[in-house]
Amino acid sequence: MRTGKHGLTTAAVTVVCAITVLAAPGTAFADPGPSSSPAPSSPAPSSSAGAPAATPGKDLEAVRKTLDKLYRAAASATEQYNAAEEKAEKQNAEIVELAKKIVKGQEKLDGLKERAGAAARAQYRTGGLPDGAKLVLSDDPEDFLDGTGRVIQGQRATKGLLGDLTRTQEDLKTYAADASARFKELEANRKAKATAQKKIEKQIAAAEKLESELETEEKERLARLEREAQAKAQTAWLDSGILEDLDTEATERGRKAVEYATAQLGKPYQWGAEGPTSYDCSGLTSQAWVWAGQTIPRTSQQQWKQLRHVDVEDMRPGDLIIYFDDASHVGMYVGDGSMVHAPRPGRSITVAGAGSMPILGVVRPDTAPEQASTPKG
């Protein structure tokens, strides 16, 4: 990139304009449109997502498992989308700061060039002789001696001016290179978000299509099967004796986080949402802890990677329970073997058994000191 005034000023303006375009709502993604899967040409059972037909008996259990698989894939893609969104916001902020530095640096460079030009013009007006030569040719020795100090000062000032010019030009080159790199990263995250969005919508559309093919009675039985599967998992978890060790009280911030999360009960799940009217799973947990005064990572995967791990037996209200091997779901423990979470599309925020899904582990956002356990009576 050029280091001249026009080139760098144009670069800075380009940076700011590009930020405006990339950050504008709705500009990053085109509507992927309806699913490209062909509709069945006859009422014969068929599904582009590989789902079984909604038939009585054991096949309905297969439908439940397929729906669970589809929604889990959508949840995983949602966390990928959230991660790309979080990175894009950070990169946008970095580009804005770089743009400010470029503009400020260009202003400084313009001022330095003006000073250098003034010095050149002064030398021209005095016949082009350097200050040292004028002193040597002076008829007045006193003026010569007095002027020697001024010459040295002038030489130092000139050297400092040239040094400032060089450093400022180098800084501008660095800022421009950094801005270009951030733009490339931002574009990569834009594409990642678009890919994740298409995957989310494809999985949700397939699940909704499968559910829409069920009769009313089948939907009711499917809901019972879902509840039974969750209850079976929760019972097995409780039978392990886990509650006998869960006697740690919440901290003040933990209570605030739980208070926020439970206040959202009944609000709908919406992928990518962070409130206040809807949430996805990690949007709920991250915002609950922000409200409690603790900023935590946005996605369930990053919550799992970055927050302090604690044993399940040591968890306390406010801790986050991470589910599934890919850390694609998260809920907040609220005590008594229960957690609050935003389940999936088509469902609302609810309280469920903490062991109703496969637990990967537990993380603790709170950095407050441990409190004494309350003995069980």
Active site residues: 281, 329, 341
How far apart are alpha carbons 182 and 98 in whole angstroms?
10
Torsion of CA 230, 235, 241, 247, to 10 degrees: 60
Please, which residues bridge with residue 359 across strands? 323
- Given strand 350-353, what is the order of strands in its sheet? 308-310, 359-364, 320-323, 329-335, 338-341, 350-353
Q: How many CA atoms lie within 13 A of 315 on its CB side?
A: 29
CA 4, chain centre distance (Å): 36
Q: Is the CB of residue 319 less than 8 Å from the CB of residue 370?
A: no
User: What are the CB-based long-range contacts (under 8 Å, 24+) for 35-40?
Assistant: 35/202, 35/205, 35/206, 35/209, 37/206
Instruction: Provide the pairing of β-strand 338-341 with 308-310.
Output: unpaired
CA 252, chain centre distance (Å): 27
Instruction: Provide the pairing of β-strand 338-341 with 350-353.
Output: antiparallel
How far apart are alpha carbons 127 and 113 in whole angstroms?
22
